[in-house]
Chains A and B, each alone.
Chain A
């Protein structure tokens, strides 16, 4: 193989990877430049150009795909680097949630692992595709029609594609939001606690006299063993939430104990749902457990979010506070 053949093969390798309109022009220019370089290299070593020297020259120029990439116009970025971590986290979370919700059917022998994998298992990856489209659209909209940061108007795309912030943007105060939600939910918590303590008495209050409420009687074993612990946890948690909601200064001080109690309470409820009979009436028991599961799912998500927020929060030393 002579030097010219080496250079021409190399150029053809690059040209094959270039956009059609650049192919010949860039190829021809590179060919001239490489021949020039080869001649200079041959002069330096004091021998006529040969294939070995040509290989050295093209090798120092770079792999054909790298060279072609340098000449090609920059491609469209589907996911911008600053959004890549969010994309990865969301993708993993979506796949994990779908698997967590559907895998129990395999353990309960309602389906085989093969059927699950070909259905829900592999299907979970559709979320990743959906997220690619979503993030890609956000990038495209941001590049196509950038929002004036001084503008107060917010197109609807702002809300689903987190476009640049409008002039009236304020950081979201999650603590204040959480406090308002807790205070708002306090009455509901009190009502639920009362229901937990005495369901039949509670129902008698709400229904006409003489209505049969025996279907809401607790299973005796549950009432004597686990219920007292649950009620104590509920009451203490309610009291702490009320204190932290009313007195803002107490929030930070009570944060740790409130979180620990919350985790204990939710853990105990999971155990109750999966390991205990709550109501004597099986239908009421099943319905109540279904409701509790939804409640637990919401609480589990809240616990994860709160835990993450607590871990990522900037802690100001007392001396600077």
Chain B
């Protein structure tokens, strides 16, 4: 076959451009962080307690009783996690991850590297509106989702 190579190269260029274009559209904005798909599950796989709220309803300001809530267990591609938020009034005072399970060790390492960064973001932003950590998009999305559900339980906006 004459010029077989050229046909393959032409196809390669088209396929590459097509796939890169498709991907570009999906990833242009941190879309995953803005419109995350919730994939929460029942409590079967959850060792820690599902959502629980302590204390009375929220009051404005940073005064008031200390309340704690754990968000829903978020499953992401490589594992699942849940985030616990502690707040005094409407002020988030601490964030922790009582549940982290991954499919394999690599994701575990990655999550452990990333979770402190995400916590810092949340504390800085006073809420779930975080940018996430690039290179750990799934973990970031799951983290933000779980935080949001915890905040909802605490009626913190």
Q: Do A and B come from one complex?
A: no
* Interface residues, chain A, with chain B CB atoms under 8 Å away: none
* Interface residues, chain B, with chain A CB atoms under 8 Å away: none
